[in-house]
Structure 1
């Protein structure tokens, strides 16, 4: 599992990042791919702060069902503040891992997981669990990042490389999308759609995904890959000082598949 601890402070930071226009647009793309219908039963694997779950609850309506699981009590606490959705079902939240879903076979029409599988040490096992809880021909939508796609301008490229190398330690597989399609097939899914979902920030703006990521990275990397606390702070200060010259790009990959 991840070395990044989703304690209350990190959970609040992630919630803030997830409310930026970049991630709001990402959720719109995910919801389009989900193609939810009134009455659908949906499982959110790694519900996080509950923003996607709340939006899905509004789409499935009062006859639908939205369940969310997460391994972080802090995340579930934040998600709980969004569990009651006008015109939708109350979101059901449980402390659980993707490796052992607390639901019976064929309980859901749709499963979704965003920015979660790259943290898992047993991706095939998690896919088997999702396959188990989906009805025949049920749909799964998974979004994850290939961190090798990152382009982040810095005044010190050598330091940037060391910081990003250290930050990859928070993941089990920072390049998961490269092999995820094969894993879907072996788990009994047929891929129906594949899409790149880019993050692009040009010019420094505190209300962007990458600006929020700076604090998370700077707090995580000291003591890893030879990065000191002073270097991490200098790295963060450098990025914030770039102003209009700031540039960040990162690719996420959206997989849609159906259960055989």
Structure 2
């Protein structure tokens, strides 16, 4: 499913947090939105799943304005994994993942054997099969994050939105999540802080600063030392080759001998 943002501006508290953003994401591609805190990447994504209404501009799925879809239609089209999983769920893990099937059921409809099969497969892919009977509120942050991934997978929507999906996850599960999502063949938009994760898994990255899109393209081409210094305020060394770079960062005001890091993510 094709996603299009056309001249989108979002205003919160009297301030434009997204400014005239235009972006097309072709079906089946994985696009990372990156930028410093407050750059507008999460706000832009929220217009896609209708948590925010643009002050101007439109967001469309295969040419249809998302604001004109019913709630059920929108949920069938777009699944969301938020950066901070809820902690107040009075549900088990299995019950929570089953919520992903709600857009596909008739009102008050029962779970079908097919629903259960899809949920079981989603839990397997998210590596939470052994947690099925646990209450979500008792889980660690990383475990809850994987529950939310399973729920999004169970929703089987052609578009998947990830807002800081690696929050609370250790390095191994960060890569497992990104690899799983990439293997789905769905249209994926992910707000990411980790430029190395974006480089390794995204077909394309969109860089935002002060609410505006300032760069767009393949990660290896977009993530230049000049852009990273300007947008993120850090120096960077590029390790590896040009097709598979790894970035080592240090603050501009800290000597490289004490502050440089180069973790492959």
**TM-score, normalization: structure 1?**
0.32
